[in-house]
Structure 1
Amino acid sequence: MAHVSRPLRTGSTALLLCDIQSRFESVVHGFESLSRCASFLVKSASELDLPIIVTEQYPKAFKETIPAIKKILPEKNTKIFEKTLFSMCTPEVKAHLNELGCTSVILCGLETHVCVLQTSLDLLSMGIDVHVCADGVSSQRKFDRSVALSRLATSGAVISTSESLLYQLVVDSKHPKFRALQPFIKENAANSKESELLTF
């Protein structure tokens, strides 16, 4: 029987940013599109007071999270973890997720077929629902991204889009933060027209 994920709710969801680092900027397909999508998710998560977990894969070699993302991360709700494990699920990250009491995560970053895939499988094995943001993940090769997304979909992860995920969190147009989110939604819609990550 297929896994049925729980509805996304602001009180039990975290945003995970996987290894969106400067060294990958020139080699990952659609990196700029991914970066814009991640920025939209960070701004939205900040407005909704969602916890944000950021990992950096061996930053001595691959540098830190790109400045465009790092400068908008809210200090109050963000934790940054260095790692060498391909999965984001280091002991420290798992402990933090447990402390937060998250039952769902929104995941974006790279690379889809390595770190995003392994993170998703680890989280699913922990009983956490994983919503992979298709317009916010990529790999160096398009083929690797496509195959990984298919694998994730059959493994129990939910493949969705950034706009859809936000609307699921907000639920109702009467949400007190909905008006404040409108500029981000409009900017994301405009950016999506030029996105290189609109294929599955």
Structure 2
Amino acid sequence: MLTPEVRAGIASLNSLNSRLSCVIVGIESHICVTQTALDLLSEGHNVYVIADGVSSVNKEEVPIALARLRHAGAQVLTSECWMYEVMGDAKIAEFKEIIKVVKESAESTKEALQSLCKI
């Protein structure tokens, strides 16, 4: 999914040619998500794949894709883990807003993670 337009957008964001931190969610974890993550990794970027934010028509593909990406150097984590990690400190004002999002999405997050863990 790193089309010329996306690459141009990355270049404009990354004028210092430093490593970007890229968060990946999407469908067809074993195709689009994997290829995008591998491309970003090969270009030296930090890649975070949100496990409960990816899917596939064939649910069996998801854990295989996540294992492959983890082995390739991507950080595979849950949406809740990523949100708290990005916040960094419970003392900042935005933390209370993130807690609301976590609570509001708790049931759907639980269902997604249970689906991943059954495979």
Write out aligned runs for 1:96-135 (5 A): 96-101=9-14, 103-135=20-52
* Pairing 1:90–2:12 present: no
**Residue type of the alignment partner of 2:86:** L
Asked if 2 retains the 8 angstrom alpha-carbon contact of 1:135 and 1:162, the reply is yes
User: Over the residues paired in the alignment, what is the CA RMSD in angstroms?
Assistant: 1.6
Asked if 2 retains the 8 angstrom alpha-carbon contact of 1:124 and 1:157, the reply is yes
Gaps of at least 5 residues in structure 1 are: 1-87
Q: Which has the higher contact order (CA 8 A, sep 6+)?
A: 1
- Tell me how many residue pairs correspond in the alignment: 113
Counterpart secondary structure, 1:164: helix
2:95 aligned residue:
178
User: Relative to total residues, which structure has the larger helix share, 1 or 2?
Assistant: 2
**Residue type of the alignment partner of 1:106:** V
Shift of 1:135: 0.4
**Residue type of the alignment partner of 2:31:** V
Give the alignment's TM-score, normalised by structure 1: 0.53
Give the alignment's TM-score, normalised by structure 2: 0.86
1:45 aligned residue:
none
Alpha-carbon separation, structure 2, partners of 1:193 and 1:158: 20
**Residue type of the alignment partner of 1:99:** S
